[in-house]
Structure formats: C-alpha cells, structure tokens
Chains A and B, each alone.
Chain A
C-alpha cells in the first residue's frame, strides 16, 4: 500500500513570498490532516478535512494560511505571505475515517520550509 505522499520535500523562500505544499493521502482514506512542526516541538494540527469538508481549522492562521482538498482526495496548503516564524516542517497525514478518535493517522515525510 502506498503511503502518504508530499511535495516538495524542501523549500526555501524569502519572507513575504508565497508557497504551496501538496499532499496525496493513502487511497480510500476519508480524513486528511495538516500539521506544523516547529523545530524542537511536537506536531500541531492546523486543519482537518473529512472528505472535502473542513472539520477543524481552529489553529489555522487564516490571515495567511489557506488549504483546500480537491474532490476529497489531494490537498494543498498555501502560505501567503510567509513570515520568518513559518519556518517549520509541514506534515500531512490521513486516516481511514477520522470520525473515530481511535483511528491511526498515517504521516507523510513532510515538507521542510525555511523562510529567510
């Protein structure tokens, strides 16, 4: 079974520029998550999709971050404009259903963003 795919793996941009990350979840997984992992910290949930609807985006800085899930499969996370404090690893995860808190979340390799 193919895992969660993410691209790019690394991205370096200057502050105030825009950037987008792409995620392809495991086939058949209804729920998709985006996490932000700042160096030295654990992952923090930014947004959760159930199919193509948003379940939780309470931690998403909506003035600069946006995300969408196309047709309930792939997803993109965008930052516009980027700030220095956005430097982090952005992780995508998926789970079979997500409406059961016991479901295992499967993580992609992440995208390491550096904002200069």
Chain B
C-alpha cells in the first residue's frame, strides 16, 4: 500500500533564508508525485508535479523538488523564502494507473520577517 510521510509538521524560517520541506513515500509500483500549497483560507493549489523525465521539477514562484527513486523522496526546496510563502504544504502520491491520490499530513511553513 502506498503512503506519504512528511516528518516536519511545522517549519519556521527567516525571510530570505533557504528552506527544505521533506517528503518520503512508499509504494511497490511507479508513482507520480505532487506538491500542493494551501494559503490561509484558500483551497489547495498545485505547486509542482513529477510525472517522468527530469527528476528536478520547478514551480513558477521559485520552488523546486527533486525525485529521488532510490531514497523514495520528493523534497521541496526554495533558496530564498518570502513572507508570502507562509502556507501549509502537502506532498501527495498516486500510483501510475490508479485513481486515488494519497496526501501527507502537511508541513506548515512560517516565514519570519
């Protein structure tokens, strides 16, 4: 059975500092991986996704994530965070050919001025 682990429930970081949000998954088959972001009082929005090809994927607002098959990880990084990045971030996985998207428990990123 597939599952997603986000070890850090809360990550405080100072503005302009780098950040890494960790995500590990387990699955016996190939998967697609997603990062969703939830800003306060808003719905989940897709940040980026890995389907195939280059293991490094980027979002339009400076986040990137790297798929590491051997470590079954899909960590999210940003070299310099802004106040506006304060939100909850969810990692999600779906087995190729399946319908059910499994989410992690989320990481609350708080950017401190």
Partners in one complex: yes
Write out the residue numbers on chain B whose beta carbons fall within 8 Å of the beta carbon of A104. Answer: 46, 49
CB distance from B60 to the nearest CB of A (A): 14
Is there contact, CB below 8 Å, between B99 and A98? yes
* Interface size in chain A (residues, C-beta < 8 A): 24
Q: Is the CB of B90 within 8 A of A45?
A: no
> Is there an interface contact between A101 and B4, defined as CB atoms closer than 8 Å?
no
A92-109 to B contact mask, C-beta < 8 Å, 1/0: 010000110110111111
Given contact pairs A42-B104, A42-B105, A104-B49, A48 touches B99 in the complex (Cβ within 8 A): yes
Complex Cα–Cα for A42 and B37 (A): 12
Does more than half of chain A's interface fall in helix, strand or loop, or is it mixed?
Answer: loop
Whether A42 pairs with B106 at a CB distance below 8 angstroms is yes
Whether B32 contacts A102 by the Cβ 8 Å rule is yes
> A107-B44, A109-B42 known; A42 and B99 CB under 8 Å?
no
The listed residue (A4, A101, A109) touching B98 by CB distance below 8 A is: A101
Q: B: which residues have CB within 8 A of A?
A: 4, 9, 32, 36, 41-46, 49, 51, 90, 92, 94-106
A residues touching B (Cβ–Cβ < 8 Å)?
A: 3-4, 40-45, 48, 55-56, 91, 93, 98-99, 101-102, 104-110
